[in-house]
C-alpha cells in the first residue's frame, strides 16, 4: 500500500520569497513516481512537477523544484520567488511504476501568498 503525508494544512509566504511544502511518502514498491499538483480556487488540478524514484537529479520546472531525499522518503516542493497567483492548494501524489496506475494523494497544503 502507498501513503502520502502532507503535514502542513496551511502555509503563508510573502510575495517574492521562497517556500517549501513538505511531503513524505511510504511505499514498498521499488520503483515509483512522485508528482505535485496545484489546485487553485477554480478547482482544476494542474500538474507541476514529476520525480522518478531512480532519477539521479532533483526535478526542476521553472520556479518549481522538487527536493527528493529517497532515504528519508521525502519529496518536498520548493517554490522560488512566490507570486500572488501561487495561492492555491498543493497536492503531493505518488504512483507505483508497476501494478496499479492510480495516483495516491496527500491531504494537501493550502498556500497563501501575501503582498
Which stretches of the chain bind another protein, using CB under 8 A?
A: 33, 35, 37, 42-47, 50, 91, 93, 97, 100-108
C-alpha cell at 91: 497536492
CB of residue 17 to another protein, shortest distance in Å:
28
Q: Considering the complex, state which of residue 12 and residue 47 has its C-beta at the smaller distance from another protein.
A: 47
Nearer to another protein, 82 or 106 (CB): 106
Phi, psi of 32 (to 5 degrees): -160, 170
* Minimum CB–partner distance for residue 12 and another protein (Å): 22
Please state, in angstroms and as integers, the Cα–Cα distance from residue 9 to each residue in 5, 6, 14, 21, 100, following that order.
11, 7, 17, 10, 28
Amino acid at each position: 500500500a502507498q501513503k502520502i503525508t502532507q503535514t502542513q494544512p496551511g502555509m503563508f509566504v510573502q510575495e517574492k520569497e521562497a517556500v517549501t511544502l513538505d511531503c513524505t511518502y511510504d511505499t514498498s514498491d521499488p520503483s515509483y513516481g512522485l508528482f505535485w499538483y496545484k489546485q487553485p480556487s477554480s478547482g482544476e488540478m494542474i500538474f507541476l512537477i514529476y520525480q522518478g524514484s531512480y532519477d539521479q537529479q532533483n526535478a526542476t520546472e521553472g520556479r518549481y523544484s522538487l527536493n527528493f531525499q529517497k532515504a528519508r522518503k521525502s519529496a518536498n516542493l520548493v517554490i522560488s520567488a512566490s507570486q500572488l497567483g501561487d495561492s492555491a492548494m498543493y497536492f503531493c501524489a505518488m504512483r507505483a511504476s508497476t501494478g496499479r496506475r492510480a495516483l495516491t494523494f496527500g491531504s494537501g497544503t493550502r498556500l497563501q501568498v501575501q503582498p
